[in-house]
Each structure stands twice: as C-alpha cells, then as structure tokens.
Amino acid sequence: MRIGVVVNPIAGMGGRVGLKGTDGKVAEARARGADPRAPDRARRMFEALRDTDAIVLAWGGEMGESAAREAGLSPEVPGRPSGEETTAEDTGRAVRAFLDAGVDLVLFVGGDGTAADVAEALAEADGGGKVPMLGAPAGVKVYSSVFAVSPEDAAVVATTFDRTERREVMDIDEDDYREGEVHPELRAVASVPVADDMQSSKQLGGGTVDALAAGVAEDIRAASGKTFVLGPGSTVGAVKAELGFEGSPIGVDVWRDGEVLVRDAAEREILDSLGPDGENVVVVSPIGGQGFVFGRGNPQLSPDVIRRCEVEIVASRSKLDGIGKLRVDTDDPELDAELRGWTRVRVGRFERRMMEIV
C-alpha cells in the first residue's frame, strides 16, 4: 500500500480565536495568537501509520514531511511547496505528483476546503475514480463525508480498507458562515474508502426544540452564580432566544445571572469569563447526521474550557434518532477518552435519553 499524504498546515487555525475558519484570515488568526492545529493532528496520524506496512509519500516541509519525520517516519518526498505560504495550487501539485508516483490512496489533513482541492485535482488527473481520497479532519467546519472520525482512525481506514464508494465533498462560503448563514455547496463526488469510522455529511434541521429550549432556559435562569457557555447551532440558539437575547448563531456566547458576558467568544475570552471550577456549565448540541459534540464547528470549546465545565448535551429526539451515537474529537486524546461512555442527553423540558459517546 502506497499512501500519498498532503497537509494543509493552516487548516483550523481560526477556530479557537473565534474566526470560524481560516480562509482569507491567516494573518488575523496569527495576530490573535492562533496556533496551527493541523501539524499536530498530522503527527498523530503518522504515529498511527508508523507500525503499519504502508509506504508513505509526503509533500515537503510543513505540508507533510515535517510531521512525518517528527513521528519517526522516513517518507518519500516527491516535491515541496512553491513558496513560504502554502496554497491550494500546492495541494493540487502534491496530488498530481502522488498519482505519478503510483499511490493507492491520497490521504490529506485539513478541512472541507482542502477536501475540495484534493477532489478537484483527482478529478482533473484521473477522473476522480481510480485513486480514492480520505481526510483526517483538522478544519473548523467539516461538512463533507470524506473524513475519518479522527486522525488515528484515518490511519486505520487508510491501511485496512478493501473497497470504496462515492461520497460527497461539501464546502461553504466562510464569509457567509461568519454572518451566521450556512449553505453547504456540493463541490465534488469522490471515491472514498468504505469503513465504519467515517463521518456522515452534516444534516441541517431536525425537529422541534421549543419545549427543550424552554426547559433549559428555565434551569439556567434559576442557577444563580453559575456561568453558562452556550455553544453554536440552532438548538442552543433556541435556548439563547428563550433567555431573551439574540446569540451568535455559529459562535459561543457566555451568560451569567441574566447577563451576556461575552458574545461570539474566542477561547481566551471564554476562559477569562469562567467562574470557579464546579460553577461552570457548557451547553452543546451534537451536529445532526454526524453526532459530534466537540471537535466540529466549536473549537472555541477547547480542552481547557471543557475541563473547567460540566457538560450538558441537548438535542431534539429527531436529531438523536438520525445519529445513533455521539462523538468527540477535542485535539486531546486523554480528554476524548474521559468523555466517552454513556451520558444523559436532554431531549425535552424534563426528559432525558441515554446516549453513548464513542
């Protein structure tokens, strides 16, 4: 098995600093103190590949080679990025070079934009069907169904799959996304390995949440002195509306004792707003179709934030019916392990349902 790996080193940088993506915002993300997310996730994936029989090809420098060598691999390097700042054109060049080198799979680390770049390069080079692609998720928004659940899962799927299927590559306009408008657009249909540890495309909508939101808001108002970190999405957005304020639809808002402390908060602002441990609650809803509670669309809710908060998961019954199981991908494998297991999900004004986080 020959695997070509390309990493988008800036993927996900804008998440924790509240930019909801990195397209056109790299300089601003760095100015806000953002740390690269993709290289560490790539290293985790390469570590999982280290004890396999796979022959790894990596694009040069920070687009794959560096993380591979940090993980103890000695990859073949068929080329390097053309300049100091990496571009979509570099990704395309990497994919074409991998195909020329006879790879069996193109494995990438990034988000939906990177997935679209890889899929388009494959389509131009071989019709998009001969060599499959697979993503290790590192972006802020991950709507496509071409990603494994985690970097480690990507390594397992890449080295064990025996068949492929056609799956959707979706992307959204990040400027619209920052304004709260979410309109996923089909960018490509690509050949992808068939495996259990693959995420679905994100589903939008999913049943009434009126009674649920009213119950959650009632409990929040009664919890004097507690700080509530209210995550993104329409379900928690309904809770914000019940509390009497227009929240950030795809951002995180912080509330305490009838007051919005921070609107559309970045990680640092959330941490600065928290009260003593045991007096903070993060309220989140899983992504429809995928089941992710943390790690997709809410990187502001970092491991440091989560560890200082109780976690309350809320969702409509119809959303849970379409998910089956919940997932987490926080960038901290130890925290992911702590969060896994059976948990109560609030589904109504008073009702709760047991769901497993896997």
pLDDT tens per residue across span 220-246: 999 999 999 999 998 999 999 999 998
What is the rounded average pLDDT of the residues 15-25? 51
pLDDT-derived band at 314 (thresholds 50, 70, 90) equals: very high
Q: 357: part of which helix (H) or strand (E)?
A: strand 352-357
Is the distance from CB of 15 to CB of 138 less than 8 angstroms?
Answer: no
> Which amino acid does the sequence have at 275?
G
68-82, 135-149, 193-207: least confidently modelled range: 193-207
Q: What is the pLDDT of residue 10?
A: 85
Q: What is the pLDDT of residue 350?
A: 78
**Per-residue pLDDT tens for 188-227?**
888 999 887 675 555 444 446 888 999 999 999 999 999 9
Instruction: Look at strands 292-294 and 259-262 and give their pairing.
Output: unpaired
Of 72, 47, 44, 69, which is closest to residue 58 (Cα–Cα)? 69
Query: What gap in Å lies between CA 294 and CA 157, rounded to an integer?
Result: 22
CB atoms < 10 A from the CB of 104, how many?
Answer: 16
